[in-house]
Amino acid sequence: MLILLGVAVVVAGFAAGFNPLLVVMASAFATGLAAGLSPVDVLKAFGKAFNDNRYVSAAWLILPVIGMLERAGLQERAKDLIRGLKGMTFGRLLVGYLLFRQLTSALGLTSIAGQTQTVRPLVAPMVEAALESDSEELADDERQKVRAFVAATDNVGLFFGEDIFMAIGSILLMVGFLDQSGVRLEPLDLSRWAIPSAIAAFAIHSLRILIFGRKLSRRPGA
Distance CA(110)–CA(125), nearest Å, equals 22
Does residue 220 have a pLDDT over 80? no
Predicted pLDDT at 80: 85
Does residue 55 have a pLDDT over 60? no
93 close to 81: Cβ distance less than 8 angstroms: no
pTM exceeds 0.85, yes or no: no
Closest CA to 205 of 140, 142, 159, 144: 159
Closest CA to 153 of 171, 127, 121: 127
Predicted pLDDT at 134: 47
Predicted pLDDT at 202: 96
141-169 per-position pLDDT tens digit: 888 999 999 999 999 999 999 988 887 87
103-130 per-position pLDDT tens digit: 999 998 888 888 888 898 899 999 988 8
Mean pLDDT of the chain: 84
Q: Is 68 exposed, middle or buried (0-12, 13-18, 19+ CB in 10 A)?
A: exposed
93 close to 126: Cβ distance less than 8 angstroms: yes
113 close to 73: Cβ distance less than 8 angstroms: no
| 4-8, 59-63, 75-79: segment of lowest average pLDDT | 59-63
Closest CA to 59 of 124, 11, 101, 110: 110
Q: Is 4 exposed, middle or buried (0-12, 13-18, 19+ CB in 10 A)?
A: exposed
Residue 133's pLDDT band (boundaries 50, 70, 90)? low
Distance CA(198)–CA(164), nearest Å, equals 8
The contacts of residue 89 (CB under 8 Å, 6+ apart) are: 130, 213
DSSP class per residue in 166-218: TTSHHHHHHHHHHHHTT----HHHHHHHHHHHHHHHHHHHHHHHHHHHHHHHT
Does residue 218 have a pLDDT over 60? yes
72-109 per-position pLDDT tens digit: 888 888 888 888 887 788 899 999 999 999 999 999 88
Q: What are phi and psi of 220, to 5 degrees?
A: -60, 130
- Section 17-41 average pLDDT: 84
